Amino acid sequence: MTAKELVKKVFFIEILKGMSLTLRRMFSHAVTIQYPTERRHIAPGFRGEHALAKNPEGKAKCVGCGLCATICPSQCIHIFREKGQVTRYEIEVLRCIYCGFCMEVCPYGAVVLTENYEYSDYKKENLYLIKDRLLSNWDKYMGRKKGEVYFRKFWRPMSEDFETPSGQAGFKGKRS
């Protein structure tokens, strides 16, 4: 043991260093956010509760192509169609991992994630989002201008900016 190590051991240098750190931290500002009274700042484009976008006429933009249900890693989106109409569009929120693939893949920007994160519930049924709830979520959290702005900023489908080469198989449908 060298003299330096001995001095370090005898005077508890390492422990004193640690203690000075904790003392300094004691006078620093606490990072705690006291939730119900204080709320965290939510950045725009936060991925929270799901919604189904409506077009200006107030109809659902979704055409039921099934891309979202296909790409969903936890397979929590279920779409049922009858005669070209979407009859049921359901999301099992308890299985969702909020990856946002569904809204990235959607060619119409129809399924989106809103900024609402406070929708915990005591009943499992209430967390099985059906089409009506998803559509009303749009009015609640993305109503009026906000949805439009967000569509341009965050959910703009790739097909808006990039056309598929004509020789290649791709989405050629009519945009609503």
Q: Based on the shown chain and the rule CB under 8 A, indicate whether residue 43 belongs to the binding site for other proteins.
A: no
Q: Which CB sits closer to other proteins, 29 or 123?
A: 29
Who's near 105: CB < 8 A, 6+ residues apart? 67, 68, 71
> Between residues 35 and 122, which has the closer beta carbon with respect to other proteins?
35
- Decide: is 120 part of the binding site for other proteins (CB under 8 A): no
Q: Nearest distance from residue 171's CB to other proteins, in Å?
A: 50
- Nearer to other proteins by Cβ, of 21 and 130: the residue is 21
Q: Does 1 bind other proteins (CB under 8 A)?
A: no
Using CB under 8 A as the binding criterion, the count of chain residues that bind other proteins stands at 15
What tokens does 107 get?
A: 């060619």
Burial 103-125 (b: 16+ CB within 10 A, else e): bebbbbbbbbbbbbeeeeeeeee
Q: Does 23 bind other proteins (CB under 8 A)?
A: yes
CB of 23 to other proteins, least distance (A): 7
Which run of H or E residues covers position 10? helix 3-10
Nearest to other proteins of 5, 121 (CB atom)? 5
The answer to the question of residue 85 lying near other proteins (CB under 8 A) is no
Question: How far apart (Å, rounded) are the C-alpha atoms in residues 85 and 83?
Answer: 5
Gyration radius from the chain CA atoms:
25
Phi, psi of 36 (to 5 degrees): -65, -30
Select the span of 17-25, 83-91, 147-155, 160-168 touching other proteins (CB under 8 A). 17-25
| Three-state SS letters, 86-147 | EEEEEEEHHHCCCCCHHHHHCCCCCEEECCCCCCCCCCCHHHEECHHHHHHHHHHHHCCHHH
> Looking at 2, 3, 22, 120, which residue binds other proteins (CB under 8 A)?
22
Nearer to other proteins, 15 or 149 (CB): 15
Q: Write out the residues near other proteins by the rule CB under 8 A.
A: 15, 18-19, 21-23, 25-32, 34
